[in-house]
Structure 1
């Protein structure tokens, strides 16, 4: 089959690899100049199935309802709580947890099969600063027990043995250790997966904007040249032709229309107008987040500066992840695009300094902020769109790194006419009609 993929972030590149591995002729259309140039560029990269249902719900309180409602930010939060209250059934929570676990397993297998070498770390500590916080987390712990997720309580002393760089001056009651978790450098992983997909025959068209979709037995895609876009656009402008490889097609100079056997919509940012053309008007909302990435100081007298693996500060809902010789701090969700003078990055620095004082080289810190699309129920769109020949794999919100590999595997099975092995109706577009 000839398959077109719209979007070359984590979701789109994973989908390209899975489909190309099945022998399909794949073309990926991306409006930016490289893979992972927008929402996937420097996102947190945390994949922790034990946290995904909970974090999905937490993010949902700050996002999404009817996009045309004109509600204030407080109104959005209220509307999203209402939507989540109706939509977060036990079946949907289980489906999201299953998808996250399948995604982690698929990522592990791909890394071994393709011998991928990239910045990553395994394991996670969910840190509790005081006893009251730990008691508040008990419903979450009970959910882990019911789902068969391995977890272990560690007191403060055991936490510091596991993470000797933790500041002795910061209050710490203890933490939950989760082995079924990892974090990765999403952009680095995307580049490696793109190369693997190209070796299997997939082609990539950068600086190419998809402007229209037409459903049918041979669905059509209209595309044309795109202005350089994306948060990382300037840095990537000269990179594309040098590093893209022989399977990168030239950007078109005029608007063109091509037909395929299937089209998969993975691109987050231009999704609204394309979905509207298919008769879908989901309550998508743009939610902003930010990350801080900095190299760790290398001091022979203090070999344990910074985290060894991944930690989550439960009070501030921030993650701290070890990526090679760097640390990445991620968190925060806002309905408003960050403005000049925004103090969100200050909190990332403060929490990092709180747990690991003096661990980074601040003058080399990278500050990144980006947006992702989410639905009111915080669940992704995955499967048939309802329009013939058009498939959906998007709206994964802040869980792109946690869900991309598993979602791509399931999508490839559906397009190939195979049974994915479990019920995907919680993610279906039918819930939006």
Structure 2
């Protein structure tokens, strides 16, 4: 079967890899000149199944109001007349219950754990290298109140058998020795030893090369203008040049741009762009830099070691499709790094970047079939596209191939929103 994958980020390329391994003829279409050049380009670098949790949670509405008042706020909301934003926010608020949080986190951990295992299998099979480390994630708490809420997350980790350790300050320093330099900054942490780190952009580019060796065709510099459909199925992809590309099946993996593509087909995809920022800077003192990933719970910032670089990522900015680099967001990232690893890297050489994360109201990506017989989605991963990419790609390939997936998948598809309605 010929499958067209629309989108050449980490999710699209992993989808192509597993589809090709399943025996399909695969073509990837992307507007960029290469793979992984948008949201996958400079994300926080975490592969964090243990940290997979929906933003919609009990108490979040009150916390969000407080965050909006902070100088170095993790959440930014720009005034907008866009109805889709407020509809998406309403759906997110509806998921801020204990029952919804437990259900959504369970879905996310299930897919993320599966994805981490799929990534390990892929690495063993291909030898792919991407500055990866397998030294866990440390969620760092600056206040006792933050530490007191740890049981809210560990209940789901217990249910899925995800290993973790609640650490005192000494335990945090044992995991991340450079924190000894700022020992008065934090009161404890939650360590997730099964988490990994790696450069998603490097991974995507190298996996794209492996895909080509498997016969996958990449059509870079090709804009997807729309989809043709007839008789309950997609019949072709209209490109920006007016050409029509045809296949037997189609996978929409265009991140935040997927809803606009599917809306003319009568498919309402509840995905909204949540803007994130990052800094990438050279390590100047390895002993003062992080070993793996440290999550600063106060500012919701991840600080990750990627080879001889440090990646600092965070902020949730609701600003539509704007990709303006805003200096206050840089200041927040720099503040978190300066508090925790002040001598680890050279901020003067930092590269400032922004990308649009495709976020669903319940935090779970939308992977699976749609109301059109040969159209599938693989999008809505939010901040966890890198974490969930391999699992989503393998799952998607099973669904397209009409094989039984290795994990429960029905509640990951778009149909869950129809059932909820």
Any stretches of 5+ residues in structure 2 without a counterpart? 65-74
> Is 2:271 the partner of 1:256?
no
Q: How does 1:48-63 map to 2 (within 5 A)?
A: 48-55=48-55, 57=57
User: Which range moves more in the overlay, 127-136 or 386-395?
Assistant: 127-136
1:284 to 261, 271, 275: 271
Contact 1:63 1:287 in 2 (8 A): no
Counterparts of 1:262 and 1:78, CA distance in 2: 33
Q: Higher helix proportion, which one? A: 2
CA distance in 2, matches of 1:256, 1:54: 40
Shift of 1:86: 9.6
Q: 2:410 aligns with which of 408, 413, 425?
A: 425
Give the equivalent residue in structure 2 for 1:39. Answer: 39
Taking a change above 3 Å as real, the CA distance of residues 7 and 338 of structure 1, as seen in their structure-2 partners, is closer
Mark the CA change 1:414 to 1:97 in structure 2 (over 3 Å): closer, same or farther: same
Indicate conservation of the 8 Å contact 1:87/1:377, yes or no: no
Paired residue secondary structure (2:345): coil
- With the length of structure 1 as denominator, give the TM-score of the two structures: 0.85
Q: How big is each residue's C-alpha offset from its partner over 1:260-304, in whole Å with a ceiling of 9 and x where there is no partner?
A: 111111112431232113211233322101011111104xxxx51
Please give the alpha-carbon distance, in whole angstroms, between the structure 1 residues aligned to 2:50 and 2:187. 20
**Residues 97-122 of structure 1: per-residue CA shift (max 9 Å, x gap):** 11000001111111121101111222
How many Å separate the matches in 1 of 2:178 and 2:76?
35
Structure 1 residue 170, shift from structure 2 partner: 3.8
1:4 maps to 4
Q: Which residue of 1 aligns with 2:300?
A: 317
Comparing 258-267 with 208-217, greater Cα deviation is found at 208-217
Query: How do residues 15-414 of structure 1 correspond to structure 2 at under 5 angstroms?
Result: 15-55=15-55, 57=57, 70=83, 77=89, 80-85=92-97, 88=100, 90-122=102-134, 123-166=136-179, 167-168=181-182, 170-215=184-229, 219-225=234-240, 254-298=241-285, 303-336=286-319, 337=322, 339=324, 342-414=327-399
Matches of 2:88 and 2:176 in 1, distance apart?
Answer: 39
Runs of 4+ in 1 over 6 A off after TM superposition: 58-64
Distance 2:88 2:210 in 1: 41
C-alpha RMSD of matched pairs (Å):
2.7
Greater shift, 314-323 or 269-278, is seen at 269-278
Partner of 1:233: none
Deviations for 1:232-270, whole angstroms, at most 9, x for unmatched residues? xxxxxxxxxxxxxxxxxxxxxx42113211111111243
When normalised by structure 2's length, the TM-score is 0.87
Residue aligned with 2:287, SS? coil
Look up the match of 1:237.
Answer: none
- Tell me the distance in 2 between the aligned counterparts of 1:83 and 1:124: 26
Output the CA distance in 1 between the equivalents of 2:76 and 2:392.
22
Instruction: Give the CA deviation at 1:71.
Output: 8.1
Larger deviation: 89-98 or 216-225? 216-225
Structure 1: 5+ residue stretches without partners: 226-253
1:68 and 1:11, CA in 2 relative to 1: closer, same or farther beyond 3 A? farther
